[in-house]
Structure 1
Amino acid sequence: MSLRFSLMGPVRAWRDDEEIDLGPRQQRAVLAALLLNNGLRLSNDQLIGMVWDDPTPSAVMALRTYMYKIRKAIPELDLKSKDGGYTLRAELFDDCRGEPFEGLSSTYFEAQRVRIANERLKCREALLERELDVLELQKHVAAFPLRERSRALLMQALYRDGRQAEALEQFHQVRALLNEELGLEPGPDLRGIHAQILRGDLNLARRPEQLPPGLPDFTGRAAEVAQALRALPQTVGITGMHGSGKTALAIHVAHLAKQDYPDGQIFVSGKDIANELLRAVGVENPSGDKAALWREKARGKRFLVVVDDVRDPARIAELRTPGSALVLTSVRRWNELAGVVWLKIAGLTEAEANQLFRGVLGTARADAEAAVTDDVLARVSYLPNPVRVLGGKLAARPDWTVAMLLAQMERETRLGSAIPSDCRAVLAPLMKAEQQLTDQERHLLQCFARRDEDVIDVCEAAEMSGGDPGAIEFLLEALADVHLIEPLVLGRYRLPYFVRMYFGWRVPALTS
């Protein structure tokens, strides 16, 4: 059950989807005053002064009566009485339609109406500034012809569209109107934009929209998506082994959250992240302290930045700015980065992997061999990238069954018994991971993989590899950091099936 309140239009409340009868006008006024001061304690005298312009002695009794009826109508409301005053905590839901506090007419509510109207105008103009849509700006200027800020935005939008003469005409119109109506000249901001247009050097900020398209068959990760959305704008980090779908998840989350970051969305991947961020907002060939310049450009703005495959955490720490959000992906979790909400992902669940595989291959073919399909997906540890590749391979062979694919996977080839010998794309995540290993780490994984067990401890690993237990534990922890093995309790580790297969049969040359 949830309670929602609205102050736009008449004061209203809902319990789930059912509207609550809030009683007569003055009772609604009492509730509105409390909602406007959500979480603050209001004394009886303060409330009476807000609701009644000329209160009579009976106002105290009327206030108590209204409080009693509000509690009776909404018994679950967190309305507390203490020391002759009241405190309310509630969720406000406002759709910005209609005049606020419709029907309430005290001096207090009239002042609040003016305040809210000004805030709504500022919010509207902030949105218009980000979009610079000429038609919408023209409508806004027609409704508020004396507002210099909206007139300046229209001049900028017209100039950007190559309509310099029309932009200058807007300045002359507002100047004549200000002189006629108020006896004033345009302010310095408006005059400055006019001068820049005359000189031809008006520079407009670029609004980047760089997010790659999301995967149309993105599957699963509901808990991780919800956790990331709750955490933003705090920095979110997504970590997992190659092939686990970190980038896909980051992009999916970014698309869901982008409406909260109206100044733009930026996707970067590479070593010089600050340089790429500056280029995204229109700064070409930046020099000097690029991170400091980015912080200056991002000050007061709300950007959503996805940094893919982070390699240097120190560079990330320099780029964070208040109001903007970072979504990071990295094989390694960078614990030295403060204030990051880390999400660790591995394979999909069995049900999610089946859903993805069926979406690529087709439900009928997969369902006809459900048990075999489960076996195929388990062999790649339900990792989304290999699952998608296997589904695509089988879809390209309409005369093959899933059992035929499994039979090919079971043949012992130079690559091992669980990988299609003609599909390097399935191997890609582990091939990439292997390139970043030391010889000692690779040797240890091969020893681990050839042992016919899922779980091993440090002493067993040292015995197999012929190394010192202390040094072996260091290597095992390094492998756990990049998710090639899973740490259990202290000193014990599990090897995922896909990794065990690959390193158990690994040979120097790979052929397709």
Structure 2
Amino acid sequence: MRYAVLGPVEVEGAAGRIPLGGKQHVVTAALLCRPNQAVSTDLLIDLLWPDDPPATARNSLQVYVYRLRKALGSDTVINHAAAGYTLLVEPGELDVHRFEAATTSARQAMDAGMTEDAAKLWQEALDLWRGEAFAGLNEFGLIREEAARLEEMRLETLEHRFDAELALGRHTRSIPELTALSARHPLRDRFRYQLMLALYRSGRRADALQVYREGRELVRAELGLEPGHDLRRLELDILRGDVALDLPSSSAATPASPALPPAREPRPAELPAGIATFVGRHAELTKISNLLRASREGDRLTVIAINGVGGIGKSSLAVEVARGVAEEFPDGQLYVNLHGATPGVAPLTADEVLDRLLRAVGDRGAGLPTGTEEATARFRTLTAGRRLLIVLDDAVDAAQVRPLLPGGPGCAVLITSRDVLTALDGATHVRLNALGEAEGVDLLSRLAGSERVGIDTAASLDIVRLCGCLPLAISIAGARLAARDDWTPALFAKRLGRAHRRLDELEHADLAVRASFTLSLDQLRRDVRRGGRSAAGLFPLLGLLETPNLSVAVVAALADRPEEEIEHDLDVLVGAQLLQALGPDRFEIHDLVRLYARELAWEELPEPDRAAAVRRALHHYLATIRIATGALVYDGASRRRAGLAQEKLTRAGTELTGRPDASAWLGAEVGNLLAITRQAAAAPDDGPELAIGLAAALNGLGNIRHFWRELVPINQLILDVARADGRTPVIALAHADLARSYRLTGQLDEAVAHFESALDRWRRVGDRTQQGHMLFGLGAVAAMRGRLDEAVTFHREALAIRREQGDPFGEAHMLHVIAVVLTEQGAFEEALGNQRQSLALFHSLGDAENEGMVLASIAELHHRRGDAARAVPLFERALRLLRSASDQMAEAGCLWRLGTALLALGRPGRERQREALAILQDLRALTADEVRAILRDPQPGIPRPLKWL
């Protein structure tokens, strides 16, 4: 048998891997925590049923062990005695034992001065790991403890391995992995010590000291302590340049080397110097470094292509990676800047580059190659059997680099390009995105000075955000701050805050963000083969909208062109790194690229054309959100057609087939709809009417995705628009929507004020329907405040209006609402009567969603009366109806209450409650911290968003 726990738990027999499912998996993991030792029955039961073990727990455990024995193919593998169950493991069968044996041998080799052997043995031990120990099961007590012990052993082994690597002089190649480990384990002094030493020995003294300063700040902030003695001593030694830190000439304790071979051509070492301001990119550094190191074992050429928008830091990353793995390529490192996007410089041709490369690898052949094909063949001949790293920086496209590739394994090629070189066969593509905000601030501080940036961290973060976390933009900002001692970060952030001037501010010496984007666009305009001109013509329009992302349908409306044409142009823009694809039908544009596109739109398009394009997009959005509202909202009042009349819309909306399709569209577009509503409010002509219509639809859909918090400022804006409009009904609707968003975000005083303002206006115009809505809202606020009698009074007045108007939906809704309040008051019989009337009305209307809501309330009523057994099947029936209606908020409420009822019956119910919390977090009704707090509570109350659902 073979047992593996250094990763997901796996068991392998003679016939292959043995499948383990469910609780069998947990039992196996627990027994492997203590191989050849008894694990008590009580402990296993606690692991399997952590909340409330059933009365049949011991019998069930016996069944699981019986099935496990059968799966393992032997009745004698697991013994049972009074002390518990014991899994018998032979020597070498468990990966933990092999790991421990390898580390023991490594320590012995190190003690004997056999450093090379020790390094290999420690690496062999680490190679046994396939992920986190007991992955997926390490949340259980006993298993969690063993996983933590093993993780500590893994980290200690890594530390020992790096001790050996540094003793062998492999400091440069250790830097990327040590950087990642220090970031992942910032309070572990040994990794930081080793990283500092590796950097110092690699000639990067300033970086080594910066690593110490970062560690010191973190330890003081987290623990209120100073770094350990060893780290403090190392910092002093680095500052003094103590020769004791240098690698001794006899450091690699290996057998004597043979006589030196005859002199040969100098090894090429063409990599540029390391970049002092390089920050972050730990994941990319580790990934690319590992791929390049693995090229030694491969049977084909390793090609890695880094792509990303101009100014994202592709070249810096390539140089940093190449320098870190240089020792892995003993035959040298070649570097060529292909000038694919250098202002004023034509890209190099393949012939020009091959001439340089051939000379670099010592071409002494008779006669010069007569063409590209011959030069490529000679280059492949000269690089065959050698281990070279070739960095081709700033490529135009795959055609430019294809002739420059060596032919066989051993060599590796690292390419950077704005374009995604998908036509390059066998290449691994790495997309580079913007820096994280913390990394951006780090870069800014390295350029402008850490003290200066640290004085106003909030303003410095604003600068990084206004730069879109783009390294080129941050570098320019840092250079400008460094050049102007009289500028504070706050002042420069204010200057960058002027969107129409931001690209002007991001220019310094020969660096300019605008120029970087212009190069990409100019290349498109010249690319007739790909249809680049058409895509370049579309590009300025993408700067006209303020939405976080763009769909094909919206861009088609902007451009007034068919979607099929637009899809092609958007794909071309993605390839040129002027757009990022978020999915097959959705795209994102970087903030600075958007500003550049907007500049072009203002320069190249007349104002009427710009306004018409935006107006088409707004009309498309309003038409589509009305389609979504019709599919998702049953309540006619919530589907009101406020704003521009339907017949005046000039664009059709996207067709949405059914509730799931409409719900998916809404989930993808919520952020865009909020942004486009703000933009519409400031647009000319029918912009305010469009904003009113968009806001009305958003308020009708608020419960579907629970974005009431975001709707508060939108509704405040719409109230200003409505007041400018001057019509009482429009103002009343705006007050009503603002009141509702305040109520659902818990701002109850503000909600009452706006409900009363709206009610007053509806009474003035005699709109009884809307009066009923406001009375319901006032009653809901009263209920949330615990004023239940007052709530019932408001709700009964609203019910009378619904009946007076012959509105069966409204009547059913108010009967249900009154019943919920009566249930809170303990008036169960009256509440049950109301709920049954409500249920009958909703059923007659074919309204499955609200029928499910009422059934859930009836189930809750029975649970409150102490009859959980009767409540559970009603909850389950309600849950089926709510899921079929795609009402996630109501589904979460039903799941939570079902879980509570199951727990009351002594049945597992926590998983249902976890499902409810997951939905609430997905809907942004609860934060991750709130969810964790609820899960920590052994007897949690009903989550806030579900209280009056």
TM over 0.5: yes
Once the two structures are superposed, residues 251-281 of structure 1 have per-residue CA deviations (whole angstroms, 9 ceiling, x without a partner) of 1000000101111110013322333211212
Inter-CA distance 75–444: structure 2 relative to 1 (3 Å threshold): closer
Question: TM-score, with normalisation over the residues of structure 1?
Answer: 0.60
**2:355 corresponding residue in structure 1:** 275
Say if 1:238 and 1:344, in contact at 8 Å, map to a contact too. yes
Other structure's SS at 1:440 match: helix
Once the 2 structures are TM-superposed, how far is the Cα of residue 73 of structure 1 from its aligned partner? 12
Pairing of 1:221-236 with structure 2 (within 5 A):
221-232=281-292, 233=295, 234-236=302-304
User: Aligned partners of 1:399 and 1:322: how far apart in 2?
Assistant: 56
User: Aligned partners of 1:326 and 1:508: how far apart in 2?
Assistant: 41
Once the 2 structures are TM-superposed, how far is the Cα of residue 383 of structure 1 from its aligned partner? 1.1
Inter-CA distance 89–397: structure 2 relative to 1 (3 Å threshold): closer
Pairing of 1:95-494 with structure 2 (within 5 A):
150=259, 153=261, 156-157=262-263, 204-232=264-292, 233=295, 234-268=302-336, 269=338, 270-272=348-350, 273-283=353-363, 286-288=368-370, 289-314=374-399, 315-316=401-402, 318-411=405-498, 416-417=501-502, 419-420=504-505, 423=508, 425-438=512-525, 439-494=533-588
What is the letter of the counterpart of residue 243 of structure 1? G
Once the 2 structures are TM-superposed, how far is the Cα of residue 412 of structure 1 from its aligned partner? 6.4
Other structure's SS at 2:524 match: coil
Other structure's SS at 2:583 match: coil
Other structure's SS at 2:395 match: coil
**2:682 corresponding residue in structure 1:** none
Once the two structures are superposed, residues 13-33 of structure 1 have per-residue CA deviations (whole angstroms, 9 ceiling, x without a partner) of xxxxxxxxxxxxxxxxxxxxx
Inter-CA distance 91–214: structure 2 relative to 1 (3 Å threshold): farther
Q: Which has the larger radius of gyration?
A: 2
Say if 2:384 and 2:406, in contact at 8 Å, map to a contact too. no
Other structure's SS at 2:461 match: helix
Pairing of 1:75-86 with structure 2 (within 5 A):
76-77=97-98
Once the two structures are superposed, residues 131-168 of structure 1 have per-residue CA deviations (whole angstroms, 9 ceiling, x without a partner) of xxxxx9xxxxxx99xx8xx47x3xx44xxxxxxxxxxx
Say if 1:444 and 1:465, in contact at 8 Å, map to a contact too. yes
User: Aligned partners of 2:484 and 2:558: how far apart in 1?
Assistant: 42
Farther-moved stretch of structure 1 (389-398 vs 92-101):
92-101
Say if 2:503 and 2:513, in contact at 8 Å, map to a contact too. no
What is the letter of the counterpart of residue 313 of structure 2? G
Once the two structures are superposed, residues 173-232 of structure 1 have per-residue CA deviations (whole angstroms, 9 ceiling, x without a partner) of xxxxxxxxxxxxxxxxxxxxxxxxxxxxxxx43421100011012100000010001111
The percent identity for this pair of structures is 26
Once the two structures are superposed, residues 14-66 of structure 1 have per-residue CA deviations (whole angstroms, 9 ceiling, x without a partner) of xxxxxxxxxxxxxxxxxxxxxxxxxxxxxxxxxxxxxxxxxxxxxxxxxxxxx
Farther-moved stretch of structure 1 (234-243 vs 482-491):
482-491
Once the 2 structures are TM-superposed, how far is the Cα of residue 91 of structure 1 from its aligned partner? 9.9
User: Aligned partners of 2:116 and 2:331: how far apart in 1?
Assistant: 28
Say if 1:206 and 1:281, in contact at 8 Å, map to a contact too. no
Other structure's SS at 1:226 match: helix
User: Aligned partners of 1:100 and 1:411: how far apart in 2?
Assistant: 59
Once the two structures are superposed, residues 398-430 of structure 1 have per-residue CA deviations (whole angstroms, 9 ceiling, x without a partner) of 1111222123224465xx445417645243322
User: Aligned partners of 1:325 and 1:304: how far apart in 2?
Assistant: 5
Inter-CA distance 91–305: structure 2 relative to 1 (3 Å threshold): farther
Question: TM-score, with normalisation over the residues of structure 2?
Answer: 0.33
User: Aligned partners of 1:331 and 1:297: how far apart in 2?
Assistant: 30
User: Aligned partners of 1:92 and 1:385: how far apart in 2?
Assistant: 46
Say if 1:357 and 1:387, in contact at 8 Å, map to a contact too. yes
Which structure is higher in strand share?
Answer: 1
User: Aligned partners of 2:308 and 2:523: how far apart in 1?
Assistant: 15
User: Aligned partners of 1:75 and 1:469: how far apart in 2?
Assistant: 57
Q: 5+ residue gaps in structure 2? A: 7-88, 118-248, 250-255, 296-301, 339-347, 526-532, 605-949
Inter-CA distance 435–91: structure 2 relative to 1 (3 Å threshold): farther
What is the letter of the counterpart of residue 402 of structure 2? I
Say if 2:311 and 2:513, in contact at 8 Å, map to a contact too. no
Inter-CA distance 371–356: structure 2 relative to 1 (3 Å threshold): same
Say if 1:278 and 1:286, in contact at 8 Å, map to a contact too. no
User: Aligned partners of 1:478 and 1:385: how far apart in 2?
Assistant: 23
Once the two structures are superposed, residues 312-358 of structure 1 have per-residue CA deviations (whole angstroms, 9 ceiling, x without a partner) of 42543652421111111111122232322211002111111011111
Say if 1:372 and 1:406, in contact at 8 Å, map to a contact too. yes
Other structure's SS at 2:390 match: strand
Farther-moved stretch of structure 1 (319-328 vs 389-398):
319-328
Say if 2:466 and 2:497, in contact at 8 Å, map to a contact too. no
Once the 2 structures are TM-superposed, how far is the Cα of residue 488 of structure 1 from its aligned partner? 1.6
Once the 2 structures are TM-superposed, how far is the Cα of residue 99 of structure 1 from its aligned partner? 12
Name the structure, 1 or 2, with higher relative contact order (CA <8 Å, separation 6+): 1
User: Aligned partners of 2:499 and 2:580: how far apart in 1?
Assistant: 26
User: Aligned partners of 2:499 and 2:98: how far apart in 1?
Assistant: 68
Inter-CA distance 283–409: structure 2 relative to 1 (3 Å threshold): same
Inter-CA distance 341–310: structure 2 relative to 1 (3 Å threshold): same
Which structure is higher in helix share?
Answer: 2
Farther-moved stretch of structure 1 (400-409 vs 221-230):
400-409
Inter-CA distance 328–456: structure 2 relative to 1 (3 Å threshold): same
What is the letter of the counterpart of residue 309 of structure 2? M
Inter-CA distance 468–260: structure 2 relative to 1 (3 Å threshold): same
User: Aligned partners of 2:391 and 2:566: how far apart in 1?
Assistant: 36
Inter-CA distance 322–402: structure 2 relative to 1 (3 Å threshold): same
Matched, 1:504 2:598: yes
Inter-CA distance 428–99: structure 2 relative to 1 (3 Å threshold): closer
Once the 2 structures are TM-superposed, how far is the Cα of residue 247 of structure 1 from its aligned partner? 0.8
